[in-house]
Chain A
Amino acid sequence: MSSGYKPDILWSPHHADRYVICDNELSLYRIGPAGSSETKAGALPLSEETAATLLAINSDTPYMKCVAWYPKHEPECLLAVGQANGRVVLTSLGQSHNSKCKELMGKEFVPKHARQCNTLAWNPVDSNWLAAGLDKHRADFSVLIWDISSKFSPEAVPAEKVRMSGDADSGLVVTKPLYELGQNDACLSLCWLPRDHQKLLLAGMHRNLAIFDLRNTSQKTFVNTKAIQGVTVDPHFQDRVASFFEGQVAIWDLRKFEKPVFTLTEQPKPLTKVAWCPTRMGLLATLTRDSNIIRLYDMQHTPMPFGDEVEPTIIERSVQPCSESIISSFAWHPSAQNRMVVVSPNRIMNDFTVFERISLAWSSTTSLMWACGRHLYECAEDAGQGAAAAEKDIATKMRERAQSRYGHDTVQVWRNHVLAGGDDPQLRSLWYTLHYILQCSAVALQGTSEFLLMKQYTENVEQKQQSNKQSLIYSGIKNIVKSSSGTTETRRCWSGSDRQTDVPRYHSEERSLALQLCGWISRGPDIDVEPFLKSLEQEGEWERAAAVALFNLDIRRAIQILHKGASSEKGDLNLNVVAMALSGYTDEKNSLWREMCSSLRLQLKKPYLCIMFAFLTSEPGAYDGVLYESRVAVRDRVAFACMFLNDAQLPRFIEKLTNEMKEAGNLEGILLTGLTKDGVDLMESYVDRTGDVQTASFCMLKGSPGEVLKDPRVQCWIENYRNLLDAWRFWHKRAEFDIHRSKLDPSSKPLAQVFVSCNFCGKSISYSCSAIPHQGRGFSQYGVSGSPTKSKVTSCPGCRKPLPRCALCLMNMGTPVSSCPAKADEKADLTRDKKLAQFNNWFTWCHNCRHGGHAGHMLSWFRDHSECPVSACTCKCMQLDTTGNLVPCDSV
């Protein structure tokens, strides 16, 4: 018989670590951390962390149908057991020294007519009251409320009638219930209402849910439904009740008891248990027969009560506490959040915590927040130094760079890489490239303008050539070398030596332009690298300087540089050794020097030293050791190539390198591609790799011909960067960027978006000034320009009628703002007002109520008010402005 009972589980109401498993006997378990000293022998593992120890077993009560745990602290282990014959027996688990408990132990409550006891519930307030729900009997009540403190009353049953009750009359039997409810009806489930402990909710056989009030039992509220197999009140929302029948759960609102507020999706198998989570709002767990999953319904965001027209928002999930086994029953832990213990039919138990769905939010300032259960986690980027700093997210980098005005240095363009942090070699190369491009183009322009001044309108052809040259500068070395013509070949001596070299060097106008763009020489056609060497020496780039000197066939200078480097502060003494090795240079093909240098150079760690020996030991025209040394800056390799590769080799090498750079999205390649479509392609792969739309935007804005700016990709980067600035609330930075942009790309200048027209004649009051190209100036005469001494116009230029008055100062618009009556402690505000001076005179008005006035006045009014300053107007102007309450993140 016992096999027919499926184990159920019951948490102790007061001991968070104890629970009872009931099947044909009651077993009390204590749950504890697995592996702790208390729980080692005979502990059953419940999960990776917890284990249960059997504390006591009680098998005194056969034919157990339902169990309820006494709700008060004392006596702590008192249980009421409802039996198949309807008797309710009080029993306990473990020893209790409480005298009250001893008195109550074994007490039986016997109904007049025996039938199954379906459910038991202790009154939460008056804990002497125990409600028992029984099956129906034709002549008896199905809900009996027993008072456990009542004494046996022998006179209640006449002696001759006790024939069949046998051993029952031992003095512990109570046959007279306190209340009897629900005649001719079965009670399948019941619960006391937490809102009013005198009220009882019953689920009865005749398809009724009924609420009885014990103070007046003849009165009841009831509703006809088939969802009557079980009822349970939401502990967090005392008017919300879940009841179920077969596979269906109905949710009720006791205030609108006529029909369920909603029903949950029906399950194909009958439900066996439905329970609200005691530690989490609106979470209902359901279990169906022979299932290994528990279904959870999250009603946290379901409004109660909600109207009929709204679809309830219920999030349904299912969890599988133990991988394979069927779940017989489960019970929520009374205090640990979202925790439950499940038990399988063969009594295998599992401790399980339901994880909350995680909701996640990214902030525009790279911090990440997520909420899980009652915990809120914030994940901010670690502002560590060194290696960690290099790994910063690109958004953080862009934000920092925006704050340091990255991209805005238009005079010393190369300095922008310093503004960007100065630690990115690609950015450094990019900004130097742009710097050289702009420098060259400035020179070319200068040339053009000088040229124009001298020979105005005379020789158009020449002029065209000049402008061709200028556009060539932007088109990158790749295109420059393509157009190369008239290359001359020279063989020069090693400077400071009479020995003739057999190294051919190539010259042309284009090649020297390329060298200029590489930064090796500042102005062609003479190749004088001395200033470049000096600057490299200054920066301590000894190896690079030595290499450049060597490539200019000046071994002595190279040795000198190395020597200087070795003797400098923090100098590397090894440079002296290199200098020594270099000084032994011989052009004899089979010398030991050559042999040793060509093999040992590969072991040199510094790339520039390595290519120096590669150059010296290479056959003329075969400089792969130099050209394909990827650790050497592209700029230097290209410059080298322009000097030593012939017209056939050079474009091939440049082409190859360009494609490599484009593929890798390496910004050093901008030198080769220039600001052309190729350059945009390269930038595209750079943006794809890094997401750095900021650099992309600034770089492409420099593309003077404006061709690249029309590329939709470029527009996309620019728009994204502007949005990014807006999202960071860097509104001033964005405005600054827009100004910067409109200077470089006049087509991007925004059209006037605001016009002020006269109330009387309807003409724009700025109409008369519209000839002036800059839109903003149109209003300058209305005191907007910031200079109060300038002439003020307070009337419409069209009809001479006065302009509207400011709602606050009641002066006509166009009058400059008088200084606010500021208190002494508002000094900070004063400086702020001063800064805003230009804006203070501006027209502003509410789009809703159309009241307005001087912007400065309005700003200060709405700092303390939300309603319109016009006395009769109740417009909540400020609340209508969704961005009005946001403060810019960047300082003004």
Chain B
Amino acid sequence: MDLHILDHKLRVTCISKSGLEHYTHPLIKLIFLRNRTRCKFFSLTETPENYTVVLDEEGFKELQPSEHLQVEGSTWLPLNVVSNGNASSSSQAVGVTKIAKSVIAPLAEQHVSVFMLSTYQTDFILVREKDLSVVVDTLVEEFNIFREEGGESVPVHSQDACNGLQRNGREVSHATVHPVLIPENHFCVMSLDPDTLPAIATTLIDVLFYSNSPKEGASVDQDMECIKFFSFSLIDGYVSLVMDTEAQRQFPADLLFTSSSGELWRMVRIGGQPLGFDECGIVAQISQPLADSDISAYYISTFSFDHALVPEEDIVSVTEMLQAQRKDMSG
């Protein structure tokens, strides 16, 4: 297996719902006018609480600082696992599950905080730039690590300077168990030919920025069952969309790509309180049991909460599993 440290320096930001109007211009520019910006990594996720924007430094320049914009202080680097072709075709599990054991768990053990971003095309594991040496040391046994610089992949070797303990300078603490929320909506993960992006521009703008306005009254009632979740990313020219079936109906069917089986996903939202960025092991908490049961998953972290997507047919077993885990921890 190869691990690629991609050539992007990312910032994780959050735009409050009320402040969105101040940022529509840069956001539309970053989404639709690819030729006008040098931003290569852009992800926008709408949750009921806020909008999480992950973007590289070129894109970050577009966002004017204001009271409505929260910025996580560190620079994050995306990691990408490449299966080298001869992957396990036996296992049907995809996404985070596949890397749960090899990447997420070891990093959690070393107390490296990760920020997950799954897309239609691949899974990105974001780590803080300052944690990079720990990451390399941790994963160098399992992976061939490459750092991409200016289009070339350069092999990275462990510095071997650190000892096994106290690598991160953080204390080993017991993971807290976070409450989970399983909303009723069904989600689909889709992609799009970037060339056809202009064709769905109005729908996309409508869904992204005006979703709350028309059915303000109805949503109070629905809040418990369905939550608003929409994710758009444009990374290295690839578009990835995560939306619920209700939003999907607004798009023309022939333009969006999805799997031929038309699979649908249910969401598990992790966290009752905003999780922050320092706690580690949250992703591992969810992905570990999923991997054990060979259930595939998408995982999208946002500024406040983490979101895992699991196949709809597996949601029952996942729910049971999470409850069992809760009992174990508390018991």
Contacts and interface: CB of A to CB of B under 8 A. Distances in A.
Given A84-B195, A111-B260, A135 B121 contact: yes
Given A116-B193, A184-B122, A139 B82 contact: no
Given A206-B2, A206-B82, A226-B151, A138 B121 contact: yes
Nearest to A219: B86
B87 A165 contact: no
Interface in B47-90: 81-83, 85-87, 89
Given A1-B199, A116-B193, A206 B4 contact: yes
B94 interface: yes
A625 B238 CA distance: 98
Nearest to A225: B152
A111 B199 CA distance: 24
8 contacts: A110-B260, A113-B260, A138-B94, A138-B120, A138-B121, A164-B260, A165-B262, A207-B153
Interface of A: 1, 4, 63, 84-86, 110-116, 135-140, 157-158, 161-166, 168, 175, 180-186, 206-207, 210, 212, 217-220, 224, 226, 245
Nearest to B146: A224
A318 B296 CA distance: 53
Interface string B235-258: 000100000000000000100011
Given A115-B120, A184-B81, A4 B261 contact: no
User: Which of B85, B89, B148, B195 has the most chain A CB atoms inside 10 A of its CB?
Assistant: B85
B233 interface: no
Nearest to A162: B262
Given A136-B121, A138-B120, A114 B260 contact: yes
Contacts of A136: 121-122, 238
User: Which of B118, B151, B253 has the most chain A CB atoms inside 10 A of its CB?
Assistant: B151
A253 B304 CA distance: 52
A164 B189 CA distance: 13
A184 B83 contact: yes
A224 B87 contact: no
A877 B260 CA distance: 79
A162 B82 CA distance: 30
A579 B138 CA distance: 126
Given A185-B83, A217-B85, 18 more contacts: A1-B196, A112-B259, A114-B257, A114-B259, A135-B238, A136-B238, A138-B120, A140-B259, A157-B260, A161-B263, A163-B262, A164-B261, A165-B262, A168-B260, A180-B89, A182-B85, A183-B83, A207-B152
B193 A63 contact: yes
User: Which of A116, A162, A183, A207 has the most chain B CB atoms inside 10 A of its CB?
Assistant: A183
A138 B259 CA distance: 11
User: Which of B4, B83, B119, B191 has the most chain A CB atoms inside 10 A of its CB?
Assistant: B191
B156 to A, nearest CB: 13
Given A84-B196, A207-B152, A220-B85, A113 B258 contact: yes
Nearest to A166: B253
Contacts of B238: 135-136
A138 B196 contact: no
Nearest to B92: A139
Interface string B119-139: 111110000000000000000
Contacts of B191: 114-115, 137
B281 interface: no
Contact of B121 (A137, A180, A207): A137
Contact of B95 (A138, A157, A185): A138
A84 B193 contact: yes
Nearest to A139: B94
B257 A85 contact: yes
A784 B153 CA distance: 79
Nearest to B263: A161
Contact of A138 (B4, B85, B118): B118
A485 to B, nearest CB: 96
Interface in B183-228: 191, 193, 195-196, 198-199
A112 B260 contact: yes
List the 8 closest pairs (A to B, CB-CB), nearest first: A164-B262, A139-B94, A114-B257, A226-B151, A161-B261, A84-B193, A113-B259, A218-B86
Contacts of B152: 207, 224, 226
Contacts of B119: 138
Contacts of A226: 151-152
Nearest to B81: A184
B263 A185 contact: no
Contacts of B95: 138-139
A139 B296 CA distance: 10
Nearest to A180: B89
Contacts of A158: 261
A161 B260 CA distance: 8
B143 to A, nearest CB: 13
Nearest to B82: A206
A136 B85 CA distance: 12
A185 B82 contact: yes
Contacts of B146: 224
Interface string B262-300: 110000000000000000000000000000000010000
User: Which of B81, B94, B148 has the most chain A CB atoms inside 10 A of its CB?
Assistant: B94
A166 B152 CA distance: 42
Contacts of A184: 81-83, 87, 122
Given A1-B199, A136-B122, A112 B86 contact: no
B274 to A, nearest CB: 27
Interface string B89-104: 1000011000000000
A168 B261 CA distance: 11
Contacts of A219: 86
User: Which of B121, B148, B195, B238 has the most chain A CB atoms inside 10 A of its CB?
Assistant: B121
Nearest to A205: B236
A685 B313 CA distance: 104
A157 B81 contact: no
Given A163-B262, A226-B152, A115 B257 contact: yes
A530 B81 CA distance: 116
A535 B198 CA distance: 105
B233 to A, nearest CB: 12
A224 to B, nearest CB: 5
B86 A217 contact: yes
